[in-house]
Structures are given as structure tokens and as C-alpha cells.
Chains A and B, each alone.
Chain A
Amino acid sequence: MSVHNGGMKNAAALITLTLLVGFARPVMAQDFRSGGKLLLTGGVSSIEGSAGGGLSTWAVIAGGETADGIGVAAHGTAVRTGDFQLTTGGIAVGIFDRVELSYARQAFDTRQVGAALGLGKGFTFDQDIVGVKVRLLGDAIYDQDRWMPQISVGLQYKSNDEPGVVRFVGAKRASDVDYYMSATKLFLSTSVLVSGTVRATRANQFGILGYGGDKSDGYKPEFEGSAAWLATKRLVIGVEGRTKPNRLSFAKEGAAYDVFAAYAFNKSLSITAAYVDLGPIAGFRGQRGTYLSLQTGF
């Protein structure tokens, strides 16, 4: 009998709880809804898979979702310079415009240089990058009456599939983690977007030549900056710069720059074209060329 009573009490408590949960804020129950982000305000996919410009990571969250849902952005990117080709494919998931999970696979084709370096013609380094980004403060779009940018922090775990080669050129390890903090702000009154990122990294050439070096090891801050102009609702034109460490004595490494244009056909398809200068790579100077990226998602 007492058990039965307990059951009754539990049932009553459950009903009360259900009523409280169900009716406490009847108007306020939020519906789960996909999509809704304004065109291009989630940025495009960067070469490391996270939402950003082309070379740099921004504080925006990938995907077409708002705080009400989940969005996805998939991309394919090809960068062809004088001596090398970098192709990247990846997918990023944005959760409630708050958390971003990303994966990208990079293939760095050494083409003719591979033969010259004794690796073989078309020798290719592959790198997997898994990223997490969390938006901490501010809103890049809505906070037009404040100076506060949108600030996010994130990390990227990078793993290179050629540990032997990267160690041979002087790198200390073939996988590592980058940590970054990013601030992005859209100034609607002038249609200009500005973004800056500080990245603690040991990556040589984004990690394609491994992590840490014979010249120095340990984390060092590197900088990524972007400025973009919203020419129309669909078209953004901008410039980016990104510093890189210089830790391998066999070949100098320098900063990378690009000039880009991103065009959104609609909310599910956009294209980014850029002229890039990746600086010297593995002793081959002035790696300039084209950057082309297609992005789809919802």
C-alpha cells in the first residue's frame, strides 16, 4: 500500500512538473528551426575548415543556422601556385550559432618539386584537421551600437600523414594543436567587415611541413587579419594577411596574403576566388597563384 502511495505521489509530482515545464512560459517555448542566417554572414570556409575568409579564421560560426538551429557548410578548395597545389575538402557544423565543429582534409601536391627534392614527382602530403570553435561574446552583425566585436575561441587538431618526411626536414612532430582567439566585427554603416585572429601555433606551412623546428620549438603567437567590403548583398571583396612561423633552417617561411571575392548565388551555394601569395615554401620562392573555393550548405 505504501509503495502504491509512493507511486501515486511520484505520479502527482511528475504531473505537477510537466505542468510547470509545459505552462511556465507557454509563449516562450522556442522552436527548433534550420536556416535563417543572413547571406554570407557565416563567412566562407577557410583552408583549415573553419568559417572565415580564405586563409584566415573568423569568429563567425559556420552554417546557415541562427540561435534556433543547426547548420552545415561543406567546401572544396583548390590553391595552385607556381610550384605547388593545395586542395582542401571539408565539412563544418554550426550548432545554434554558438559552437562550430569542423573537419578538413588537405592534400599538398609537390608536383615537379617532389622530384627535385627526391620525394618523387607529385609527392603529396595529406593533413587532417579537426576543429572546435565556440562563440564567447558579442555579435558581429547585431551589435552595431557597440564597439564590442564577436569573440570566439577555438582549437584545431592537425595531423600530417608524412611523419618521416617532416622530421627529416627538421620538424619536431607530425601532429599538433593550434589554439586561437578571433574577433570579427561588421561595420554596417560603412559596409566593412574587419577580423583579427591570434593563433598560438607551432605549424610549419600550416602544418604541411609538420610542427616545431630545428630553429625553435614551443608555441608562438601568429596573426591573421582580414578586411572586407560588402559590395552587394551577394558579393564581398576583401584582403587577408597571415603570419607564419619560420622554424626550419632548410627553407625560409614567410607571411601569406590574398585578395578575394566571395559571391553567394543563394543561401546554399557560394564561390570564392582569390589571388594568393603564400610566400616561399620549401626553398621555392614567391608561391603566388589562384585560389578557388566552392561552398554549399544550409
Chain B
Amino acid sequence: MLIPLLVAIALQASPAVPMAEKAVDPYVQSNANAGAVPMKDDATFKAFHGVEGIKRISAAFVDRNMADPRVKEIFKDADTVRLKRVLAEQLCYLLGGPCTYTGRDMLAVHKNQGAQATDFNAIVENLQAAMDAERVPFTAQNRLLAKLAPMERAVVERKDPQALRSLKKRMQAMLAPKE
């Protein structure tokens, strides 16, 4: 009885969804959804130029992904207003900043997007470019990437065996006699 009650309270306690964002199915908010343990000191947070710097990086990162032919398909239905907000919250929280992450967990967010390892790395490159544009030092960038890298396990859904099958199909198609 207690758990559903707590869930109900947590759901009620959710901040009101800003106007520009589309509604999402209810979920339990928790910093644990950010998917990693935050940094203990705020040195890296400062290297990211605080909340404002992180917001700029988050926005530039999402825009780069939307425009990147390698991964834009994955982002085509994304609510970019919400994505930029929750992403900034997540980065701020993980960097040891004074933020609360209100988004969903990584498995839920990336479910059925069909991301491959190539996509994950392309997205990492876009994040690096966004951090470069904000002039975040390389070592500080890597401290953030150390928190994000293990999320590959939640993000990448399509792995080796299927690639083998796909290659086999392609070879068969190539070798098949043309009619």
C-alpha cells in the first residue's frame, strides 16, 4: 500500500510541464534516472561555465544531432524543447551542479530507438563539438564523458550478431543472379 502511495505523491509533486513541451506519460522522477553517480566537487561544473554554459551546450548538442545525417532519424520525433531542458538538468546534476534531474531513465528514453554503436559514437562527437564551442577544456570534457560512456549499454540496442546477419544478407543480394 505504501509504495503506490509514494508513487502517487511523487507524481503529484512533479513540477508543472512548461507550455512549449508536449505531455509525456507519467513516470516517477528521481535523480537516479540520470544514470550515473554525480561528481563530488564542482570543479568540472565550473569548467562548463555553470548552469548557463551547460544550457548552451545542451541546446547546441541537440541542434547538432537534429542536423547530423548520421543520427537525425533517431531524433526526428523528439520534443526538442523538453530534450534540451532535461539534458541540461542531467549534465548539471552529473557535473555536481545544483540541479535536479526530472527526466526519465536512460533505458526508457532510448527504448526502441534502435541505436547502434555507430550512432552512439556520432552523438559523442556532437557532444564534443558542442563542448568545444563552449571552450570546455578537454580534460573536463573527458570527466563528463566518463559519466556518460557506460550509458552505451542502455542506448545501443542493436549489436554484433545482427550485424553479421545483415552483412550476410547484403552479400547474398550481391551474389544473387540478376533476373
Contact = CB atoms under 8 A, between A and B. Distances in A.
B152 A142 contact: yes
Contacts of B170: 32
Interface in B108-145: 112, 114, 116-118, 121-122, 124-125, 128, 138-139, 142-143, 145
B16 interface: no
A142 B150 contact: yes
Contacts of A66: 116-118, 121
B142 A230 contact: yes
Which of B36, B128, B157, B163 has the most CB atoms of chain A within a 10 A radius of its CB? Answer: B163
Interface in A127-168: 139, 141-146
Contacts of B2: none
Interface string A15-58: 00000000000011111110111100000000000000000000
Nearest to B153: A142
B122 A36 contact: yes
Contact of B116 (A33, A142, A143, A190): A33
Contact of B121 (A30, A37, A143, A189): A37
B118 A69 contact: yes
B143 A67 contact: no
Interface string A227-263: 0001111000000000000000000000000000000
B25 interface: no
A29 B116 contact: no
16 contacts: A30-B116, A30-B159, A31-B166, A32-B170, A37-B121, A38-B125, A66-B117, A66-B118, A67-B116, A68-B116, A69-B163, A139-B152, A141-B149, A145-B150, A188-B146, A189-B143
Contacts of B22: none
Nearest to A143: B150
Contacts of A33: 116, 118
A191 B143 CA distance: 8
B64 interface: no
B143 A36 contact: no
Given A188-B142, A189-B142, A35 B150 contact: no
A27 B116 contact: no
A191 B114 contact: no
Q: Which 10 A-B pairs have the closest CB atoms?
A: A30-B162, A36-B118, A188-B146, A66-B117, A30-B158, A189-B146, A142-B152, A144-B149, A145-B150, A144-B146
A96 interface: yes
A97 interface: yes
Given A188-B142, A191-B142, A27 B114 contact: yes
Given A142-B149, A188-B149, A68 B142 contact: no
A32 B145 CA distance: 26
B175 interface: no
